[in-house]
Amino acid sequence: MTHRTARPHLTRRSRHPHRRRSLAVAAIAAGLALLASACTAGQPSPEPTPERSTKAPVTIQNEPTSMIFEGGLYREKDSLAARAAKSLRDKGNDRAAAAADEIAQTPVAMWLGDQYSVEKVKKVVSANVKAAEAEGTTPVFVLYAIPNRDCGDYSAGGWSAEEYPIWTQAIADTLEGHRAAVLIEPDSLAMLSNCPDETDRRLPLIKKTVEQLKAAKIPAYLDAGNSNWVQPDVIADRLDKAGIEDARGFFTNVASFYGVDDERAFAEKVSALTGDSHYVIDVSRNGQGWKGTWCNPDGAGLGQQPHATDGTTGLDALLWVKTPGISDGNCNGGPDAGVWFASYAERLVRNAAGS
C-alpha cells in the first residue's frame, strides 16, 4: 500500500473583524442557503453508489454440488430395463424378468444416440424433463452419437460432422430453462489413442457441444476414460482442448468395472490438472471390481446405489451411467452392443456389491 504524505494545515493571521462586515457576510451566507434550498426542493436525494461485489458469480463451474443434482436422481419409468422385464415376463421367463425389474428400480442415465432424429430426440428429452420436474428430481442424459463412434468397433455409428452440431443444439435448446445434467460422449476422448486421426475433427465438435450446453445453463461432463486407460496428464490435455473450462467437469469409469477408490484417486489428479474440475463416476457394474476384460466379463456385479455427494473433493456424484444388463458387444456370449443380455443381467444382480 502507498502511504500519502499528509498535507500541512494552513494557518491564518489573527485579525479583529469589523462587526458590520461580519453581519453582512452572515446575511449573504443565509441568502445563499435559502436559494440552494429552493433550487433543490422536491428533487430526490441522490442514491448511494452501490459497493462493487467481489464475490464470483455462481456459474455451472462453481455451483454447489447439491444444486447440480437437486432433488436426487430421476428414474425413467419406461427404461430399457423396465421394457425388458415386461417382455421377459410375457414370455414366461420370470427369473430373468425379476432381475430386469430390480435394475429398473434404480435411476440410470438415459442414452441419446443416432437412433433418435432431431425431432424424436427433442420429444424424448422433453418428456423425461417434464416427468423429472413433476417429481422434483434431476435427469441425467448421455450423448452418444459422435462421428465414427467407438472408432468403428462394437458400438460403431454416429452422425456426420455436419449433422452432429445440429442434433446437439436441438438437445441443448430443449433442455434450456430446465434442470438436468449431460455426459458428453463416453470413450470419445480416451479412445483417441485408438483412432488419433479423429482428433482434429472430434475435439472441435465436443467443444461446440460444451458451448451449446453452457449457453443453455446445463452442466456438462466430458470423457476421461478410467483409472487404467489414459494417463492423467494426457487426458487432461485432451479435456482442455475439448473445452472443459466451460463444462462442469468430467466423468470416469463409464461402462467399466474399476473400484471407486481407484477412480477417485485418478480423478483427483485429472481434476488438479484441469482447474479443479468436478467429476462423476460410473458405479453401475463395479460391485466386484475389474475382472480382466471390459466386454461382458464373468463375475461382475452391480455397484452401490447411485447418489449425489456432499464431500470436500471434486466428486459430484456416483452414477449408474451404463445400463446394467445390456451387452457390451459380441463377446463372452453376448448379443450386439446395446441389446438386453438377460442371463448377464441375472448374474450382475446375483453378484451385486454387498450381496
Q: Which residues are catalytic?
A: 150, 187, 328
**Is the CB of residue 282 less than 8 Å from the CB of residue 266?**
no
How many helices and strands, by DSSP H and E, does the chain display? 10, 8
- The residue whose grid cell reads 461382458 is 296
Rounded CA-CA distance 189/204 in Å is 12
Rounded CA-CA distance 278/1 in Å is 37
Extended strands (E) in the chain: 110-113, 140-144, 181-184, 220-223, 249-252, 278-282, 307-308, 315-319
Q: Which are the contacts of 265, defined by CB distance < 8 A and separation ≥ 6?
A: 227
Q: Check residue 152 and report its DSSP letter.
A: G
Rounded CA-CA distance 110/124 in Å is 10
Buried b (16+ CB within 10 A) or exposed e, 229-260: bbebebbbebbeebbbebbbbbbbbbbbbbbb
Beta bridge partners of residue 290, listed in sequence order: none
Rounded CA-CA distance 306/98 in Å is 20
Of the candidates 76, 170, 178, 183, which has an alpha carbon nearest to the alpha carbon of residue 120?
Answer: 170
